[in-house]
Amino acid sequence: MGRNAAAAVKKISNVEIRPLMGNDAIARGAWEAGVRVAAAYPGTPSTEILECIAVFPEEDIRAQWSTNEKVALDVAIGASFEGVRALAVMKHVGLNVAADALMSMTYIGVNGGLVIVVCDDPGIHSSQNEQDTRILARFAMVPVLEPSDAEEALAYTRAAFDLSEKFDTPVILRSTTRLSHTRSPVTLAERIDLPRRDFNENPKKNVMIPSHARIRHSALIEREKKVAEFFETFELTRWEKAETDVGIVTSSISYGYVKEVLPNASILKLGGSYPLPEKTIRDFAASVERLIVVEELEPAIENQIRIWNIDVKGKEYFSRMGELSPELVRDGFIRAGVLTPESGVADVFEIESTPRPPVLCPGCPHTSSYMALRQVEARVAGDIGCYTLAAGEPLSAIDTCVSMGSSIANAIGMEKSGVETRPIVATIGDSTFLHAGIPSLIDAVYNDADITIMLLDNHTVAMTGGQDYPGTGKTLRGKETHHIEFEDICRAVGVKWVQTVDSYDLAALYKALREAIDFKGVSVLISDRPCVIDPVKIKGETMTVIADNCTACQSCMNTGCPSISWSDAWFDGRHKVKIDPNTCIGCALCPQVCPSDAIQPLDRS
């Protein structure tokens, strides 16, 4: 998907107006702002930004996938030191990983403009939590800009770089899933040509040791005041004067919902949500009878206004959880007494919906790994990736999932607790392993943990759409580079038991897993097969069910494969099964579990 979007942007001439996805608009904005270096780790909903940047010529922007978000931010910081504009992109939880660098960088400030694009995921469409980046930004005292549609996303990205250089500060551009993945018309402009700034030879500013940091902290507090003052007349903040019985303070995507529901209300649309312009907000509050803040997730704006002793309401009417929508905003205004409840429209149809949660793809190589884990009744510490879907029925083979790279260290803790009787296995994807798993693996060897690590190597960053990473030996721009060998890494840090097994060979996988578990100490079993949809769609020999042989035992249904469903034929009171030839990719896992030899290759049957 991301690549298609990138291709679409490539075709754009420089003055056209076009529907662009929020993420593509941010990428375009960065290019127009003269960014020279961009780095990111893929993460929904932010992934497309860097894919789109990679469409612009390398002479303009050096763009790279980094091994994790902290590395990406540090790369951007390095470029900023050298006086060029730099961009780091991540999803909300990625900022936690990068937070260490951010907390120091905010003291140091910038030379070339430095913008961090952070995409939040209210509603948790594809994440492990729905934390609000604005809270973390405030903690780091980094200004936050919040665009409300793709057109603004482009303009705000450009403005963020100006702001960064004007106030010697990193700036966070906060998007959300809805903004990142909504297409709307965008006006394009040319790239600006910036003279390079010289390296700032000033250790007191660039080297954070206690004596320097103390001085920089006071500069930081001074900066917060200056930015707040600047935001009083910020061109991206808009006061829409209208009816005065209620005034709404809002920002980001919430603005669209407010306009949809209350088209005639007075609105203060904030371009920046931190630091807040006190005078502007006071004036706005004084101009209306009631002041209400509409914001997704945390009451970041509302609480600040309340501190100023201004009468304000917000989270009393609008949830702190999930994504807002026109419906929820309308409900909130009804609760607030701004709107009168309409006679509710009852559903015309009473329909029991068909359950259709996300599942592992047909032929997904993770399937067999978790089938083997269930058979050995392991205590499984999971991690972040497609394979988290194995936590659900029918595989039900993951006991925990915390954050990127947590699995291995979680397993160490489980073992050190001394109370677990089951075999302890950490499962971690190839890219997640490089992101944050290696330090934990070293820890496991160093502290002599008796655990097994199942490294699920599908040769790509699958969850986010198949990006390149050090395991593919290709860069973001598709150039050949060093290819990481996982067995080598494991042996180099001192793992004595390392074996690679084909994920599609269930018996071999099961046997190797038993051996790995029996091994005293750290063992790493690499379950190896490429992802079936990225980078290439794999299509092997299609399987079919010989209906006469099928005893409707449903063993194959235990794989959870979406290609297998019930046919109209019955045996002993149960549906026989059938295989959809269009979606079956021929992984041949189901014939391995069929006890009656009813599943065979279509061509040979």
Partner 1 sequence: MDTKTKYKEPVNVLVVGVGGQGVIMVSKVLATICQERGYQVKQSEVHGMAKRGGGVFSHVRYGEQVFSPTIPKGSTDVLLALEWAEALRWVNHLKPGEGTFISDTQHIVPPFACRNRKRGAEAGYSRETPDQILSRIKDGFALDATGMARELGNERAANTILLGILSTALEFPEDTWRDVISRFVPPKTVDINLQAFDQGREWARTVHENSDLAARHRRSEKLAPAVPGPDRDEMSDFVQLDINPDWCKSCDICVKMCPERCLKLDDRLKAVLTEPDRCTGCRICEWLCPDFAITVHRTPEAAQAAVRV
Chain residues 86-145 in contact with partner 1, contact rule CB under 8 A: 125-126
For partner 1, the closer of residues 44 and 304 by Cβ is 44
Question: Closest approach of Cβ 346 to partner 1, in Å?
Answer: 9
Spatial contact of 454 and 426, defined as CB atoms under 8 Å apart: yes
User: Residue 18 and residue 24: Cα distance in Å, rounded?
Assistant: 11
Question: Closest approach of Cβ 462 to partner 1, in Å?
Answer: 10
Instruction: Name which position in 190, 198, 235, 352 contacts partner 1 (CB under 8 A).
Output: 352
Which residue's entry shows tokens 């959809």?
580
Tokens representing 390 are: 């194995």
For partner 1, the closer of residues 1 and 192 by Cβ is 1
Looking at 219-227, 341-349, 404-412, 511-519, which segment touches partner 1 (CB under 8 A)?
A: 341-349
Query: Which letter, b or e, does each residue of 12-31 get, where b requires 16 or more Cβ atoms within 10 Å of its Cβ?
Result: beeeeebebbbbbbbbbbbb
379 sits near partner 1 (criterion: CB under 8 A)? no
- Coil, helix or strand at residue 588: coil
| DSSP label of 236 | T
Count how many residues are written for the chain.
Answer: 605
One-letter amino acid for residue 132 of the chain: D
Beta bridge partner(s), residue 428: 455
Strands, E assignment, 195-331: 238-240, 243-250, 265-269, 272-274, 291-294
User: Residue 450 and residue 413: Cα distance in Å, rounded?
Assistant: 11
For partner 1, the closer of residues 113 and 465 by Cβ is 465
Give the phi and the psi of residue 145 in degrees, each rounded to 5: -110, 140
Window 319-338: residues binding partner 1 (CB under 8 A)? 325-327, 330, 333, 338
15 sits near partner 1 (criterion: CB under 8 A)? no
Looking at 31-39, 357-365, 401-409, 444-452, which segment touches partner 1 (CB under 8 A)?
A: 357-365
Residue 309: other Cβ atoms inside 10 A: 8
Binders of partner 1: how many residues, by CB under 8 A?
88
552 sits near partner 1 (criterion: CB under 8 A)? yes
For partner 1, the closer of residues 218 and 264 by Cβ is 264
Instruction: Name which position in 60, 162, 222, 260 contacts partner 1 (CB under 8 A).
Output: 260
421 sits near partner 1 (criterion: CB under 8 A)? no
Instruction: Name which position in 570, 581, 597, 605 contacts partner 1 (CB under 8 A).
Output: 570
For partner 1, the closer of residues 59 and 347 by Cβ is 347
357 sits near partner 1 (criterion: CB under 8 A)? yes
Beta bridge partner(s), residue 291: 247
For partner 1, the closer of residues 475 and 554 by Cβ is 554
Tokens representing 519 are: 């091994």
User: Residue 250 and residue 308: Cα distance in Å, rounded?
Assistant: 17
Window 272-301: residues binding partner 1 (CB under 8 A)? none
For partner 1, the closer of residues 138 and 181 by Cβ is 181
- Coil, helix or strand at residue 177: helix
Report the candidate in 291, 374, 396, 361 with the shortest Cα–Cα distance to residue 531: 361
Question: Closest approach of Cβ 361 to partner 1, in Å?
Answer: 6
User: Residue 194 and residue 208: Cα distance in Å, rounded?
Assistant: 28
| Degrees to nearest 5, angle at CA 564 with 563 and 568 | 125
For partner 1, the closer of residues 179 and 411 by Cβ is 179
Looking at 26-34, 77-85, 219-227, 255-263, which segment touches partner 1 (CB under 8 A)?
A: 255-263
561 sits near partner 1 (criterion: CB under 8 A)? yes
Spatial contact of 209 and 201, defined as CB atoms under 8 Å apart: no
Window 437-466: residues binding partner 1 (CB under 8 A)? 463-465
Question: Closest approach of Cβ 580 to partner 1, in Å?
Answer: 8
Instruction: Name which position in 78, 203, 322, 358 contacts partner 1 (CB under 8 A).
Output: 358
Looking at 108-116, 164-172, 178-186, 194-202, which segment touches partner 1 (CB under 8 A)?
A: 178-186
Instruction: Name which position in 57, 210, 263, 418 contacts partner 1 (CB under 8 A).
Output: 263
Query: Which letter, b or e, does each residue of 561-588 get, where b requires 16 or more Cβ atoms within 10 Å of its Cβ?
Result: bbbbeeeeeeeeeebbbbbeeeebbbbb
538 sits near partner 1 (criterion: CB under 8 A)? no
Handedness of CA 167, 203, 69, 424 (dihedral sign): negative
Instruction: Name which position in 553, 587, 588, 599 contacts partner 1 (CB under 8 A).
Output: 553
Instruction: Name which position in 193, 393, 480, 603 contacts partner 1 (CB under 8 A).
Output: 393
Question: Closest approach of Cβ 583 to partner 1, in Å?
Answer: 8
566 sits near partner 1 (criterion: CB under 8 A)? yes
- Coil, helix or strand at residue 277: coil
246 sits near partner 1 (criterion: CB under 8 A)? yes
Instruction: Name which position in 303, 375, 499, 592 contacts partner 1 (CB under 8 A).
Output: 375
Which residue's entry shows tokens 């497309």?
48
